[in-house]
Structure 1
Amino acid sequence: MSNHQTNYLSIEEIIALPTFQDVAISEDGQRVAYVKSTTDWDNNTYPKHIWIYDKHTDKNYPLTIGENESTHPSWSPDGQALAFLSTAGEGDKKTKQIFIQTEEDTAAIQISQADHSIEHFKWAPNGKGLFYTAKLPEPDKLRDRSEMYGEFTYVDQDFHYNALYFLDLDKGKQHAKELSKLPKDLRETASENDEDSKDKASTLLTESLERYIYYFDISPDSRKIVFNSAPTPRFIDLLNQETHLLDLETNEWEKLDIHPLQSGPVLFSDDGSKICYTRLTQKKIYANVMLEIYDLKTKLIKQPALDIDENVFPIRWTKNGIHISWLERTNYITGLITEDGALTPLFDSSDIVITYPAITSDGKHTAYVKATSQAAAEVFLDNHQLTKQYKLYEGKTKSKKEIISWQTEDGLEIEGILSKPADYDESKTYPLVLAVHGGPTGISLATPTTNRYQPIEQFVEKGFLVLEPNYRGSAGYGEAFRSANFRKLGLGDYEDIISGVDFLVDSKIADSEKVGILGWSQGGYISAFCATYSDRFKAISVGAGISNWMTYYVNTDITHFTRYYLGDTPWNDEEIYRKTSPMTYINNASTPTLIQHGEKDPRVPVPNAYELYRGLMDVGVETELVIFKDMLHGADKPGIHRAILKQNLDWFAHHILDEQPDEDRIY
Structure 2
Amino acid sequence: MNFPSAERLFRLVISGPAMAGLLVCAAGAQSVDRAHVEEVLRGLNRGHGGGQVAVSPDGKQLAWIAGGRGGGEILVAPIDDLKKTQHVTAATKPDQHCSENDLTWEPDSKALAFFSDCASSDGQHDLYLSRVDGTPAKRLTQLKGYVHEAAFSPDGSKIAFLYVAGATRPAGALAAMKLPSGVIGEDGVEVQRVAYADAAAATPADATLATPANLHAYEYDWAPDSKGFAYVAAAPPGENNWWVAKLYTQTLGSEPKAVLAPAEVAGALHGLQIAVPRWSPDGKTIAFIGGLMSDQGSTGGDVWIVSAQGGAPRDLTAGRPTSPAWVEWSGNDYLFVSELAGGNNQLIRLHLQGDRTGDGAVTFGSPIFSIPGSVGDGRWSHSLSSTADHSMFVFEASTFEKAPEIYGAKPGTVMSSGLDGVMQLSHLNDGVEPAWGKAVSLSWKNDNFRVQGWLLLPKDYDPNKRYPLIVEVHGGPASAVQAAWGGRGGLSATAFSALGYFVLEPNPRGSFGQGEDFTKANRKDFGYGDLQDILKGVDTVLAKYPVDPNRVGITGWSYGGFMTMFAVTQTNRFKAAVAGAGISNWQSYYGENSIDQWMIPYFGASVYDDPAVYARESAINFIKNVKTPTLVVVGDRDGECPAPQSYEFWHALRDEHVPTQLVIYPNEGHGFVNPEHRRDVMDRAVEWFAKYLPAGEGSENQAGANR
Which TM-score band (shorter chain)? 0.7 to 0.9
Alignment match, 1:325: 338
The aligned residue for residue 54 of structure 1 is: 78
Aligned to 1:103: 132
Q: 2-side partners of 1:11 and 1:159: how far apart? A: 39
Partner of residue 205, structure 1: 210
Asked whether 1:481 is paired with 2:521, we answer no
**What RMSD, in angstroms, separates the aligned Cα atoms of the two structures?**
3.4
Q: Which runs of 5+ in 2 are unaligned?
A: 1-35, 168-179, 263-271, 354-361, 378-383, 410-421, 698-707
Match of 2:432 in 1: 393
Structure 2: how far apart are the matches of 1:487 and 1:302? 27
Higher relative contact order (CA 8 A, sep 6+): 2
TM-score of the pair, normalised by structure 2: 0.77
Residues 244 and 597, structure 2, Cα contact 8 Å, conserved in 1: no
2:280 maps to: 269
Equivalent-residue separation in structure 1 for 2:227 and 2:444 (angstroms): 55
Q: 1:363 aligns with which of 390, 408, 411?
A: 390
1:264-343 counterparts in 2 under 5 A?
Answer: 264-280=275-291, 289-296=301-308, 303-304=315-316, 308-319=320-331, 321-340=334-353, 341-343=362-364
Moved more, 514-523 or 568-577: 568-577
CA displacement at 1:84 relative to structure 2:
1.0
The range that moved more, 616-625 or 116-125, is 116-125
| Deviation by residue 1:612-657 (Cα, 9 ceiling, x = unmatched) | 2211112112222222221111222332222222222222122212
Q: In structure 2, do the counterparts of structure 1 residues 58 and 393 end up closer, same or farther at CA, with 3 Å as the change threshold?
A: closer
Maintained 8 Å contact 1:231/1:240: no
1:250-261 superposed matches below 5 A:
251-253=253-255, 255=257, 257-260=259-262
Tell me the distance in 2 between the aligned counterparts of 1:284 and 1:608: 19
Deviations 1:218-245 (A, max 9, x none): 2343234333322224344324434443
What is residue 81 of structure 1 aligned with on the other side?
111
Identity score, percent: 26
1:15 Cα offset (Å): 4.6
Tell me if the contact between 2:471 and 2:553 (Cα under 8 Å) persists in the aligned partners.
yes
Seen in structure 2, the aligned counterparts of structure 1 residues 610 and 240 have a Cα distance that, compared at 3 Å, is closer
Residue type matched to 1:416 in 2?
G
Residue 88 (structure 2) aligns with: 63
1:418 alignment partner, one of 455, 478, 491: 455
Letter aligned with residue 255 of structure 1: K
TM-superposed CA distance for 1:605, in Å, is 0.6
In structure 1, the partner of 2:417 is none
- 1:648 maps to 685
Kept after mapping to 2: 8 A contact 1:274/1:293: yes
**For residues 360-402 of structure 1, what are the alpha-carbon distances to aligned partners after superposition, in whole Å with 9 as ceiling and x for unaligned?**
12111221112245323322234442434544733x5541111
What TM-score, normalized to structure 1? 0.82
Following superposition, the deviation at residue 352 of structure 1 comes to 4.6
Counterpart mapping for 1:186-585 below 5 A: 199=205, 202-207=207-212, 210-248=214-252, 251-253=253-255, 255=257, 257-260=259-262, 263-280=274-291, 289-296=301-308, 303-304=315-316, 308-319=320-331, 321-340=334-353, 341-345=362-366, 347-349=368-370, 351-356=372-377, 357-372=384-399, 374-382=401-409, 383-391=422-430, 393-394=432-433, 398-408=436-446, 410-421=447-458, 423-507=460-544, 509-585=546-622
Deviations for 1:558-605, whole angstroms, at most 9, x for unmatched residues? 112333323333333333222212222222222221111112111111
Matched residue SS, 2:532: helix
Task: Report the Cα offset of residue 606 of structure 1.
Answer: 0.7
Deviates more, 1:129-138 or 1:411-420: 129-138
| Equivalent residues of 1:521, 1:604 under 8 A apart | yes
Partner Cα separation in structure 1 for residue 113 and residue 544 of structure 2:
55
Deviations 1:53-102 (A, max 9, x none): 323643245434865422210011111211112236656x6433211122
Instruction: Tell me the CA shift for residue 272 of structure 1.
Output: 3.6
Q: 1:461 to 1:212 in 2, by over 3 A?
A: closer
**Paired letter, 2:196:** F
* Distance change (3 Å), C-alpha of 1:367 and 1:117: same
Sort the Cα spacing of 1:647 and 1:386 in 2 relative to 1 into closer, same or farther, 3 A. Answer: farther
Larger radius of gyration: 1
Distance 1:503 1:151 in 2: 51
Question: How far off its partner does 1:530 sit?
Answer: 2.4
**Which secondary structure does the structure 1 equivalent of 2:500 belong to?**
coil
Structure 1 unaligned residues grouped into runs of 5+: 1-5, 40-45, 139-149, 177-198, 661-667
The residue type paired with residue 53 of structure 1 is: A
CA distance in structure 2 between the aligned counterparts of 1:53 and 1:302, rounded to whole angstroms = 41
Identify if the C-alpha distance between structure 1 residues 498 and 247 changes in structure 2 by more than 3 Å, giving closer, same or farther.
Answer: closer
TM superposition shift of 1:133: 3.2
Give the Å deviation of 1:318: 2.5
Matching residue of 2:196: 166
- What secondary structure does 1:335 align onto? strand
SS of the residue corresponding to residue 564 of structure 1 reads: helix
- Give the AA of the match of 2:214: E
1:598–1:102 CA distance, 2 compared to 1 (3 A): same
Q: Which residue of 2 aligns with 1:20?
A: 50
Q: Which amino acid aligns with 2:348?
A: G
- The answer on whether the counterparts of 1:535 and 1:590 sit within 8 Å (CA) in structure 2 is yes
Relative to structure 1, the CA distance from residue 576 to residue 398 in structure 2 (aligned partners, 3 Å threshold; closer, same or farther) is same
C-alpha distance in 1, partners of 2:132/2:624? 68
2:41 to 2, 7, 11: 11
Q: What residue is the counterpart of 1:183 in the other structure?
A: none
Call closer, same or farther: CA 1:351–1:508 in 2, change over 3 Å. Answer: closer
TM-aligned CA distance change 1:629 to 1:352, over 3 Å: closer
**More displaced stretch, 636-645 vs 23-32:** 636-645
Separation of aligned partners in 2, 1:9 and 1:317:
46
Residue 127 of structure 1: which of 156, 159, 165 is its match?
156
Q: 1:258 to 1:213 in 2, by over 3 A?
A: same
Cα deviations across residues 327-352 of structure 1 (Å, max 9, x unaligned)? Answer: 10111112332323333355332535
Conserved in 1, the CA contact under 8 Å of 2:345 and 2:371?
no
2:341 aligned partner, one-letter code: E
- Aligned residue type for 2:88: L
* Matched-pair contact (CA < 8 Å) for 1:266–1:278: yes
Instruction: Quote the Cα distance in structure 1 between the aligned partners of 2:448 and 2:315.
Output: 32
SS at match of 2:627: coil
In the aligned structure 2, how far is the partner of 1:658 from the partner of 1:313?
Answer: 38
CA contact (8 A) 2:438 2:456 kept: yes
